[in-house]
Amino acid sequence: MNVFGVTGWKNAGKTGLMERLVGEISCRGYLVSTLKHAHHSFDVDHIGKDSHRHRLAGASQVLLASTERWALMEENRGAPELTLDQLLLKLDPVDLVLIEGWKRDLHPKIEAWRAEAGNPLIAPQDPTILAVATDVPMQIDRPVFDLNDTETIADFILRQTRLIV
């Protein structure tokens, strides 16, 4: 499966870029899935709902299904966090998986970077970052794209993953 990451510090524009890329690449006819890393405890369940009650009662997995969608929640229950590779194996095959987060993993990435956020650029120390998408001009030893130029960034990612030549 082709994977490509969007990484960067908080408030760098990662989620907005991911959202635009999913829309752009999907509109071109490719099947796209996403994988997002959360650095904190999160919950897709709602307190008091049946599925939440099942989970709190000790269920290892809870599958919630409707005519519109389904979601499988799996509790780690003290087990180590799954690696990116282990999580990728849980996804159905698609043309491209866009990954948000996982800064330190070795998959190819583009760094989202906004000047106003005031964070250091990750790219100079990370060879897995193949380009930077930013809101200001910069000189660096790899391609630099306007953060809002979704079409050009999508072209770059599709070329890097060999989905287009």
pLDDT in tens, 1-24: 899 999 999 999 999 999 999 999
CATH of the domain at 37: 3.40.50.300
Question: What pTM does this model have?
Answer: 0.90
* β-strand partners of 74: 61
Task: Tell me the backbone φ, ψ of residue 73, rounded to 5 degrees.
Answer: -105, 135
* Residue 165 is assigned to a structural domain of this protein: no
Answer yes or no: is 56 within a domain: no
Q: Where are the beta strands (DSSP E) in 11-162?
A: 32-36, 61-65, 70-74, 96-100, 109-113, 129-134, 144-146
pLDDT at residue 42, rounded to an integer = 67
88 located within any domain: yes
CA distance 119 to 9: 7
Q: Name the residue range of residue 97's domain.
A: 2-41+81-160
Q: Is 125 part of any domain?
A: yes
pLDDT of residue 148: 97
pLDDT for the residue 56: 86
Judged by DSSP in three states, 145 sits in strand
| 104 assigned to some structural domain | yes
Condensed to tens digits (0 to 9), the pLDDT of residues 39-56 reads 666 677 778 888 888 988
Please indicate, yes or no, if residue 73 is contained in any of the structural domains.
no
Q: Which helix (H) or strand (E) holds 4?
A: strand 2-7
How many domains does the structure of the chain reveal?
Answer: 1
Is 76 within a domain?
A: no
Residues of the chain below pLDDT 70: 39-42
Q: Say if 15 falls within a structural domain.
A: yes
Residue 23, phi then psi, degrees to nearest 5: -60, -45
3-state SS class at 124: helix
